[in-house]
Amino acid sequence: MPSDPLAAQHVLEFPGGYTRSTGPVVGRFLSELRAGRIVGTRTAEGRVLVPPLEYDPATGEPVTGEYVEVGPAGTVTTWSWVHEPLDGHPLDRPFAWALIKLDGADTALVHAVCPEHIKAMKTGMRVWPVWRDQPTGHITDIAHFVPEVTQIVSPVRAEYRLQAGGALRVFLEGIERGVFLGGRCDHCAKVYVPYRAACPECGNAIPDTLELPDTGTITTFAINNLPDPRAPEVPFVSAYILLDGADIPIIALTGDVPAHEVRQGMRVKAVWVPESERTASMANIRWFAPTGEPDVELS
End-to-end CA distance of the chain: 88
How does strand 142-147 pair with strand 126-131? antiparallel
Compute the least distance from the CB of residue 204 to Zn ion, in Å: 5
Phi/psi of residue 24, nearest 5 degrees:
-65, -40
Could you give the strand order of the β-sheet that contains 180-184, starting from the edge strand earlier in sequence?
191-192, 180-184, 210-212
* Binding residues for Zn ion (CB under 5 A): 185, 187-188, 199, 201-202, 204
Compute the least distance from the CB of residue 165 to Zn ion, in Å: 19
Closer to Zn ion by Cβ: residue 27 or 200 = 200
Closer to Zn ion by Cβ: residue 73 or 191 = 191
Closer to Zn ion by Cβ: residue 146 or 198 = 198
Closer to Zn ion by Cβ: residue 202 or 283 = 202
Cα 291 from Cα 257, distance rounded (Å) = 11
Q: Is 171 left (phi over 0), alpha (psi -120 to 50) or beta?
A: alpha
Q: CA nearest 185: which of 196, 199, 171?
A: 199
Q: Give just the sign of the alpha carbon dihedral 50, 54, 57, 61.
A: positive
Contact indicator for 24, 52 with CB cutoff of 8 Å? no
Compute the least distance from the CB of residue 191 to Zn ion, in Å: 10
Compute the least distance from the CB of residue 181 to Zn ion, in Å: 17
Compute the least distance from the CB of residue 217 to Zn ion, in Å: 22
Closer to Zn ion by Cβ: residue 51 or 183 = 183
Closer to Zn ion by Cβ: residue 94 or 249 = 249
Compute the least distance from the CB of residue 196 to Zn ion, in Å: 10
